[in-house]
Amino acid sequence: MPPALTLPDGRRLALDDRPLLMGIVNITPDSFSDGGMLQNAGQAIAHGERLAEEGADIVDVGGESTRPGHAPLDAATELGRVLPVIAGLRERVGTPLSIDTWKAEVADAALKAGASIVNDVWGAQRDPAIAGVAARHGAPIILMHNRETTDPALDILSDVLRFLERSIGIALEAGVPRGQIVVDPGIGLFGKTPEQSLRLIRELAKLESLGCPILLGASRKSVIGVVTGQSVPAERVAGSVAAHLFGATQGAAILRVHDVAAHAQAFKVWRALSLPSEPSA
């Protein structure tokens, strides 16, 4: 049986011949790419439905921006943004939902409302109780590398590996099985220069030493803009697809993307070309 993430309801998300696509629903006024695009729960639910229709395997719901300089949110405000959307999507789509938060309180309420996966941009190191929440619900947890500051001289790969080893240890100690832990190098302005982000994508396969599936999220990120010259995040779709296709060759099991339809099409062609050709007559 191929490796899989087991959801609280017993469903399995297989991690086999293609990366899973995680579509992004940001209910935030200040996210770097789509802040303010979804003004209310109804718009966010409709957006999540569209992502599911386009082929998202997971829909990731977040209520607090994580871009540099974002306005911190209290848990009550964050819950007011995400819970109606999670409840609405749970009623309308069968696609598993993840909650994008670093707060244990928010994760717990979201899982009770119908989310199935915890996606923590601070790798259970800002609020370690979040790992216990995932364990109690039987939910997979995604642990992302993050830094408060950028250091161009840092050996970023070593830093990511050390950080994620600590995060994995927190999750294991809380009772999350290793097979339910996903690691994410945190591409973009999470304490990394563009050059460091490129290195992490280029050497993504080295994260396999951690013994967990890998998530890659380069969608519309600033590093794509640096390479392509595109200053508008929404115009970085082709570059994002290219980065994710490369990441898939380096072992990425999940791709977190804004543009699900473009990625789904690209991976259909990629899979077709990867199949063994039939012998000629």
Neighbours of 189 (CB within 10 A): 19
Q: What local confidence, expressed as pLDDT, does residue 2 receive?
A: 65
In a domain, 280, yes or no: no
Cα angle at 125 between 197 and 12, to 5 degrees?
80
Nearest alpha-carbon partner for 258 in 85, 87, 42, 47: 47
Smallest CA-to-CA distance from 96 within 113, 117, 79 is with 117
From the candidates 103, 192, 221, 236, give the one annotated as an active-site residue.
221
Q: Which residue range forms the structural domain that includes residue 22?
A: 18-270
- Under a CB-based contact definition with an 8 Å cutoff, are residues 216 and 201 in contact? yes
* Domain CATH code at residue 89: 3.20.20.20
pLDDT of residue 277: 65
Q: Provide the pairing of β-strand 141-144 with 181-184.
A: parallel
Report d(CA 124, CA 126) in Å as an integer.
Answer: 6
Place of tokens 């200040």: 30
> Which pLDDT belongs to residue 40?
80
Domain tally, the chain: 1
221: annotated active-site residue: yes
Is the residue at 276 inside a domain? no
Quick check: is 81 catalytic?
A: no
Q: For residue 187, tell me if it sits in a domain.
A: yes
In the beta sheet, which residues pair with residue 252? 214
Residues 70-93: b if buried by 16+ CB within 10 A, e if exposed: eeebebeebbebbbbbbbbbbeeb
Rounded CA separation 222/239 (Å): 11
Give residue 274's pLDDT: 84
pLDDT of res. 18: 86
- Type of residue numbered 184: D
Is residue 174 within 8 A of residue 136, CB to CB? The reply is no
Tens digit of each residue's pLDDT (9 = 90 or more) over 47-60: 999 999 999 999 99
Examine residue 180 and state whether it is found in any structural domain, yes or no.
yes
Domain assignment present for 6: no
Query: What pLDDT is attached to residue 28?
Result: 76
How many CA atoms does the CB half-sphere of 189 hold within 13 Å? 15
Task: Give a yes or no: residue 4 inside a domain.
Answer: no
Question: Is 12 a domain residue?
Answer: no
Q: Which of 81, 103, 236, 256 is catalytic?
A: 256
Residues comprising the chain, all counted: 281
- pLDDT averaged per 10 residues, the chain (length 281): 88 91 85 53 92 97 75 87 95 97 97 98 97 98 96 97 98 97 95 97 98 97 95 94 96 97 96 74 50
Please report whether residue 52 resides in a domain. Answer: yes
Contact predicate 16/2, CB 8 Å: yes
- In DSSP terms, which residues pair with 5 in a beta bridge? 13
* Rounded alpha-carbon distances, angstroms, from residue 243 to 16, 46, 246: 20, 27, 5
